Amino acid sequence: MNVSVAIAGAAGRMGRALLRATIEASDLRLAGGVVRAGSTGIGQDLGELAGLSPFGIRATSDVAAAGADVWVDFTNPTATLNALALLVGAAAPRAAIIGATGFSPEEEAKLASYGERLALVRASNFSLGVSLLASLVRQAASKLTDGWDIEIIEAHHRRKVDAPSGTALTLGDAAAKGRGADLGAVRLAPRDGATGARPEGGIGFAVVRGGGIIGAHDVVFASEHEVLTLSHQALDRSVFAHGALAAARWAAGKPPGLYSMSDVLGLA
Ligand code: NAD
């Protein structure tokens, strides 16, 4: 039976890519698309929002109206948590795919609590390459210890509102875990002015914002004698959409729980 999917943030960059990928997938059924209250997207045909021919379902701002097996949400932390609060009371969906980034620690805890009610797949980056990169970074960090500094450089388009990116933090977390540390304890503050020398064992982040860059991440391991860089670039937003829909297919029949792309891809 086809898995039905509702897309939250349907008028956004990722929302439109998700609408397109869902409509084009023969084993998925697009059940609805939700846009922000007051958005000019309300009432627009979901196919037309995706840049395709009319699909016959119109975008709504009513979360409950978009009943589906799986809720796919690439909005923002506030909108995601508000939608989940409404959805857990309803019979459907039983699964949610959360792509929004920039959650505060309190919001993270709230989000995780929904894993008790829904099969919730959460990833700061739904690409296969980044999921593999995180495990390579963890492995490298566990081997390159004394005398090796770790820096993470990320670049995104000028409209991105959170920094460092959720992906950069995921990679930092993988590096910290490789060294048996907690990222919160070893994360270096952004550099500006008289910073002093670099502390041993810290993990630093550098952020580039400009133009239409979809997403680029470098994890740099530097010693006095050599530099190893592990690098990933997203060339097309559809890579995240296809990964999120792979997660939707996987999560549709799963029991409640908090899952990652490592679970979906069998890397865990
Ligand atoms: P965007 O600003 O183009 O889209 C977000 C959309 O959500 C907007 O259209 C906005 O109007 C809408 N929105 C806001 N509140 C809403 C509400 N209450 N109900 C419905 N819609 C609402 O941004 P984007 O580039 O599409 O990114 C969206 C999010 O996804 C960001 O947090 C971004 O960091 C994240 N992202 C994650 C991945 C990943 O692989 N996990 C990849 C790309 C982007």
Q: Residue 165, Cα to own-chain centre: how many angstroms?
A: 9
Cis, bond preceding 199 (omega within 30 deg of 0): no
Ligand 1 cavity residues, CB under 6 Å: 8-9, 11-15, 34-36, 39, 74-76, 79, 99-102, 123-126, 240
Fill in the amino acid letter for 254.
K
pLDDT digit of tens for each residue in the chain (268 aa)?
Answer: 699 999 999 999 999 999 999 999 999 999 999 999 999 999 999 999 999 999 999 999 999 877 899 999 999 999 999 999 999 887 777 899 999 999 999 999 999 999 999 999 999 999 989 999 999 999 999 999 999 999 999 999 999 999 999 999 999 999 999 999 999 999 999 999 999 999 999 999 999 999 999 999 999 999 999 999 999 999 999 999 999 999 999 999 899 999 999 899 887 7
Question: What pLDDT is attached to residue 66?
Answer: 74
User: How far apart are the CA of 99 and the centre of ligand 1, in A?
Assistant: 8
Question: What pLDDT is attached to residue 45?
Answer: 98
Question: What pLDDT is attached to residue 226?
Answer: 98
User: How far apart are the CA of 60 and the centre of ligand 1, in A?
Assistant: 16
Residues in the chain: 268
Token pair in block for residue 173: 């977390």
Which residue intervals of the chain are DSSP H helices? 13-24, 46-49, 77-87, 105-113, 128-143, 166-178, 183-186, 238-251, 261-265
Question: What pLDDT is attached to residue 267?
Answer: 79
Residue with the smallest CA separation from ligand 1 atom 39 is 125
Rounded Cα gap, residues 140 and 132, in angstroms: 12
Number of neighbouring beta carbons within 10 Å of residue 174: 20
Mutate to test the pocket of ligand 1, among 13, 14, 160 (most ligand atoms within 8 A of CB): 14
Residue 143 designated active-site: no
Q: Residue 166, Cα to own-chain centre: how many angstroms?
A: 7
Eight-class DSSP state of 34: E
Q: What is the pTM of this model?
A: 0.88
Question: What pLDDT is attached to residue 89?
Answer: 81
Question: What pLDDT is attached to residue 1?
Answer: 66
